[in-house]
Chain A
Amino acid sequence: MGSYLFYFLIYPGFLFAAVIGAFLSWFDRKITARVQFRKGPPVLQPFYDFFKLLLVKETILPARGAKGLFLAAPVFAVFGATMAGVFILLPLINITTGFKGDLIVIFYLLTIPSLCYVIGALASGNPLAAVGASREMKLIMSYELTFLLVLAGIIIKAGQSIDLYQIIQMQQEGTPFIGSISGILLFIVAIFCLQAKLAMVPFDMPEAETEICGGIFIEYSGTPYAMVKLSKYMLLFILPALVIAILMNGIRLEGLGILWAVLKLVAVVLLLTLIRNTNPRVKIKQAIRFFFVWMNLLAIIAIVLAIFGL
């Protein structure tokens, strides 16, 4: 019991994911700044941001909103992200949970933060947040199916195994899944799903600052917004970690393996950052069409290829 609590709260759960996520958030911002000829923030900026929101800034509640739900939503988002983080990161650091169906659970847990944002936005009673929430909901519906197809492709490649630990072990003994045509296709689709899950440009329309002023998060301030930020930091770590686990043969925490682990993580986040900095925001309609038609098509092709063992 004690070790589970340690897993959940310290390593590799809440604290570890949050700290690494914060550093990755700095990396994302720094690269963005360098691409845009700016200097960029110092390394500890995400921590300054978080603690300022948590401890210093005033929390303002919407007068006409459902306050309890509004405040609970970000907390549940953090819980969801933490749970998903534990399930993804434990197999990644070569500790088996002994749970044979965890890929399905991870899929569900990763939806929780997005759903919490939607609930919080709708609870705030702000019309701009409502527009943002409707966009986020449409976005969830468009990318979730695609993401499920990616996982299905992985399951087929792993010989019907839905145990993340086994999937990683299989790759470490053989070749990583990305080393095949279907693997590359799945990787491309997964990266776009991540982009949408993280609400980064070109899929940041739920927040769309210049259209709806931050949309789903418009009413958040102070401590609740710190929670939102925290969940975002964590997602920025655990989602790339999931891609590394399912496609890039996981990591091995010994000797050169640590360097490889860092390199893989940085490479995936760098890819996300570059996509975000070389594209304008698309419209929600276009995003839905993009996922439903093109990404699903690509994922299905990958699955068919995987069935034939390519």
Chain B
Amino acid sequence: MSKQTLIPVGPYHPLQEEPELFKLYCEGEIVKDVKWETGYNHRGIEKLAEQKSYDEVFFLVERICGICSTSHPFAFANAVEEIAEVEVTNRAKYIRSIIGELERIHSHLLWVGLAGHFLGYNTLFMWAWKYREPVLDLFEMITGNRNSYAMFKVGGVRRDIENTKITTIAKVLALVKKKTDLLVGAVMDDPVIHARTKGVGILTKEDILNFAAVGPTARASGVDIDIRRDDPYAAYPLVNWKVITAQAGDVFAKAEVRLLEMYESISIIEQCLEGLKKEKEGDIDVKIKHIPEGYGTGRAEAPRGEVFHFVISDGSNSPARHKIRAPSYTNIATFKKSCVGQSISDATISLAAVDPCYCCTERLAVALDRNSGKRIMNAKEIIAHSTLITQNLLQLHNLSK
């Protein structure tokens, strides 16, 4: 038996922009086993949501993920609207879909750039991010923010897209479409990219079903799922579009699915803009006085896959329980399949190919003793420990009473 070396990817590594640790157990260059540790980014968002009013929770869940910052409010709105049994106006639906799809475009552009960077193709990285800028500018024009748009509320959206802005948006979209053509050409026709990504990190249809992977990761392996179609919400049933799938399941297929999805998103936005013209301006909001007791589930298709929110209401001003599942939660598990048996070069791009978002998915961290496997601390001890640390910090800065 040959000796295994541990190649750490993380906690701070140029590959991923977030802290996480992948332990690649390698023999030579071949990855024999992979283990991962997350939990560097646990922020207690679910608990925090229980202390905030429904309006405030939108701003909180928006900050779960910086890149797909609309999908969480989207799912939360769906959940709360299910409890309150409200139907939002068509104009609000169109605006929600426009925001959601613009976000998908900028998120996919971001991924294409990053994937290029991981392959050492920094030119692609810079170009993709440059062409992402007009989308962010569009966001600034529509919502006032380049990121974390603060557009959603229970029963509608906060800001209207005035009809006068529609032509500008269409113009920017045409530009983005042109640039997408260029990027698609650069990625799909490059023989070296083919050599690096084809047949790498393959996930079969079976693997996807076993790991319950979602989003482009699943669609690239021929699993035809998309929440926008399967559990329709917002304006998606009102417009024509199709779910992009690929069969190969390798990194190239994942890139292909994302690139082609951008065209679908552009088409959806164009149709939504047409729809907006027919609706009355300013009709974006349904007044809701009270969220009744009950529970609701909300799902939304984030750029990375299905986002799931579960909300229990006790009739008060804030949710009694709020459960969040981000798409990376299931997608990260596929690494066990896609990385083992690959070389380190292939493993790293396979890790990046599912577009993982670790801090989105971190809901719980358990401290275990390495030898016995027993829990080191229970909930009360963790709270006591945290209080102690806070006190020490206060003393350090001479702030204690």
Chain A contacts to B: CB under 8 angstroms: 32, 35-38, 127-128, 130-131, 134-135, 201-202, 204-205, 208-213, 277-286
**Is B345 a contact of A130 with CB atoms below 8 Å?**
no
Report yes or no: A37 in contact with B130, Cβ–Cβ below 8 A: yes
Residue from A35, A128, A208, A213 within 8 A of B345 (CB atoms): A208
The minimal Cβ–Cβ distance linking A30 to chain B, given in whole angstroms, is 14
Q: Are A130 and B5 touching (Cβ within 8 A)? A: yes
Q: What residues of B have a CB within 8 angstroms of the CB of A280 in the complex?
A: 116, 119-121, 124, 190, 192-193, 196
Residues of B within 8 A of A208 (CB): 120, 345
Q: Are A36 and B123 in contact (CB under 8 A)?
A: yes
Residues in B whose Cβ lies below 8 Å from that of A32: 122
A210 and B120 contact, Cβ closer than 8 Å, known pairs A131-B7, A282-B196, A283-B196 = yes
Q: Say yes or no: B121 contacts A36, CB within 8 Å.
A: no
Chain B 120-135, CB-CB to A under 8 Å as 1, else 0, gives 1111111100100000
Q: State the Cβ distance, A94 to closest chain B Cβ, in Å.
A: 39
Q: How far is the CA of A35 from the CA of B124 in the complex (A)?
A: 10
User: Across the interface, which residues of B come within 8 angstroms of A131, CB to CB?
Assistant: 5, 7, 26, 29, 344
Contacts of B263 in A (CB 8 A): none
A279 interface neighbour in B15, B26, B121, Cβ under 8 Å: B121
Q: Across the interface, which residues of A come within 8 angstroms of B26, CB to CB?
A: 131
User: For the complex, what is the distance from the CA of A261 to the CA of B28, rounded to whole Å?
Assistant: 45
Contact of A201 among B28, B121, B348 (CB under 8 A): B121
Binding site for A on B (CB under 8 A): 5-8, 13-15, 26, 28-29, 116-127, 130, 190, 192-193, 195-196, 343-346, 348
Least CB distance from B93 to A in Å reads: 37
- Whether A281 lies near B196 (C-beta < 8 A) is yes
Write the nearest CB–CB distance from A132 to chain B, whole angstroms. 10
A127–B123 touching, CB < 8 Å = no
Q: Give the complex CA separation of A279 and B186 in angstroms.
A: 10
B126 in complex: contacting residue of A38, A212, A278, A282, CB < 8 Å? A38
- A to B CB contacts below 8 Å, 18 in the list: A36-B122, A36-B126, A37-B126, A127-B7, A131-B29, A134-B28, A202-B120, A204-B120, A205-B345, A209-B14, A209-B120, A211-B118, A211-B348, A212-B7, A278-B123, A280-B120, A281-B120, A285-B343
Inter-chain CB contacts under 8 Å: number:
86
CB distance from B302 to the nearest CB of A (A): 24
A-side contacts of B124, CB under 8 Å = 280
Q: 6 tightest CB-CB pairs across the interface, nearest first?
A: A281-B120, A36-B126, A280-B119, A280-B121, A210-B118, A211-B348
In the complex, which residues of chain B have a beta carbon less than 8 angstroms from the beta carbon of A135? 29
Q: Which residues of chain A have C-beta atoms less than 8 A from B29's C-beta?
A: 131, 134-135, 284
Provide the residues of chain A in CB contact with B116, threshold 8 Å. 280
Q: Which residues of the partner chain B approach A38 to less than 8 Å between Cβ atoms? A: 126
Given contact pairs A210-B348, A283-B343, enumerate 9 new A-B contacts (beta carbons under 8 Å). A36-B125, A127-B6, A127-B7, A134-B28, A201-B121, A211-B118, A212-B7, A280-B120, A283-B345
Q: Given A131-B29, A210-B118, A211-B348, do A282 and B192 touch, yes or no (CB 8 Å)?
A: yes
With a cutoff of 8 Å between Cβ atoms, the chain A residues found around residue B6 in the complex are 127
On chain B, the residues within 8 Å of A205 by CB distance are 345
Residues of A within 8 A of B345 (CB): 205, 208, 211, 281, 283-284
Q: Which residues of A contact B13 (CB under 8 A)?
A: 213
Residue from the list A37, A212, A277, A281 in contact with B344, Cβ < 8 A: A212
Nearest CB of A to B196, in Å: 6
- Please measure, in the bound complex, the distance between the C-alpha atom of A208 and the C-alpha atom of B193, giving whole angstroms: 16
Chain B residues near A201 (CB, 8 Å)?
Answer: 120-122
Q: Among B14, B127, B192, which residue has its beta carbon within 8 angstroms of that of A37?
A: B127
User: By the criterion CB–CB under 8 Å, are A277 and B123 in contact?
Assistant: yes
Q: Return chain B residues, CB-CB under 8 Å to A279.
A: 121, 192
- Residue of chain A at shortest CB distance from B7: A127
Q: Which residue of A lies closest to B191 (CB)?
A: A279
Contacts of B15 in A (CB 8 A): 210-211
CB distance from A200 to the nearest CB of B (A): 10
Report if A35-B123 is in contact (Cβ < 8 Å); known contacts: A127-B5, A283-B346: yes
Q: A36-B126, A131-B29, A205-B345 are in contact. Are A281 and B7 (CB under 8 A)?
A: no
Nearest residue, chain A, Cβ from B190: A280
Q: In whole Å, how far is B39's beta carbon from the nearest beta carbon of chain A?
A: 22
Q: How far is the CB of A49 from chain B (nearest CB, A)?
A: 18
Q: Bound complex: CA of A127 vs CA of B25, how far in Å?
A: 11
Q: How far is the CA of A135 from the CA of B127 in the complex (A)?
A: 29
Q: Give, as a whole number of angstroms, the nearest-CB distance from B16 to chain A.
A: 9
List B contacts of A211 (CB < 8 A).
15, 118, 344-345, 348
Residue of B28, B117, B196 near A210 (CB, 8 A) is B117
CB neighbours of B118 from chain A (8 A): 210-211
Residues of B within 8 A of A281 (CB): 119-121, 196, 345
In the assembled complex, which residues on chain B have CB atoms less than 8 Å from the CB atom of A204? 120
Residue on B nearest A200 in the bound complex, by CB? B120
Smallest Cβ distance from B25 to chain A, in angstroms?
Answer: 11
**Which residue on B lies nearest to A33, using beta carbons?**
B126
Chain B residues lying within 8 Å of A128, measured Cβ to Cβ, are 7-8
* In the bound complex, CA of A36 to CA of B117 (Å): 12
User: Which residues of B sit under 8 angstroms from A127, Cβ to Cβ?
Assistant: 5-8
Min Cβ gap A283→B in Å is 5
**CA distance in complex: A286, B193 (Å):** 12
Q: Find the B residue at minimum CB distance from A135.
A: B29
CB distance from B198 to the nearest CB of A (A): 12
Cα of A278 to Cα of B126 in the assembled complex, Å: 12
- Could you say which residues of chain A place their CB within 8 Å of the CB of B28? 134
Shortest C-beta distance, B166 to chain A (Å), equals 29
| Chain A residue, CB-CB nearest to B118 | A210
CA distance A278 to B8 in the complex (A): 29
Instruction: List, in ascending order, chain B residues with CB within 8 A of A130's CB.
Output: 5
In the complex, how many angstroms separate the beta carbon of B388 from the nearest chain A beta carbon?
A: 32
Q: Which of B6, B29, B120, B344 has the most CB of A within 10 A?
A: B120
- List residues of chain A with CB within 8 A of the CB of B8: 127-128
